[in-house]
Amino acid sequence: MQEARWGYEYQQQITEKFGRVLGCPLFSLGAEVGTREESLIDKIKQILDQHLRYYESALREAQDQQLIAMTPVAPIAFPTSPKSNKASWRCSTSSPANELDLFLPSLFTN
């Protein structure tokens, strides 16, 4: 949870500094040259897979601590994704006073 809070606070500082949320550098780089250089494509996929594993781990940990409840939902398919058959999850917090209730909505403001 502390890492997620740090990430949010960092993005908030960036937004205040530049007046907007900046795009993800991995996706920006990938959009520009990621279709031309195989080694770059592989590296971007590796980094994004690491991020995916981190978020999956954070969600499992939050569920284990009963901070959220996860239920399986239909898979989300992305045409270019090698993981298009991967199951998706819907998360909900376990109580209105939960710390995640205060944190997550703020991710989608501004």
Phi, psi dihedrals of residue 73, rounded to the nearest 5°: -130, 175
- Output the CA torsion sign for 12, 14, 17, 18: negative
For the entire predicted model, the pTM comes to 0.43
Structural domain containing residue 26:
2-108
Number of folded domains that form the chain? 1
Q: What is the pLDDT of residues 51-71, one digit of tens each?
A: 888 888 888 888 888 888 777
pLDDT, average across residues 9-15 = 81
Give dist(CA 67, CA 32) in Å, integer. 39
C-beta separation of 21 from 12 below 8 A: no
What pLDDT sits at residue 84?
Answer: 42
Q: What is the pLDDT of residues 58-110, one digit of tens each?
A: 888 888 888 887 776 555 444 444 444 444 444 444 444 444 444 444 444 44
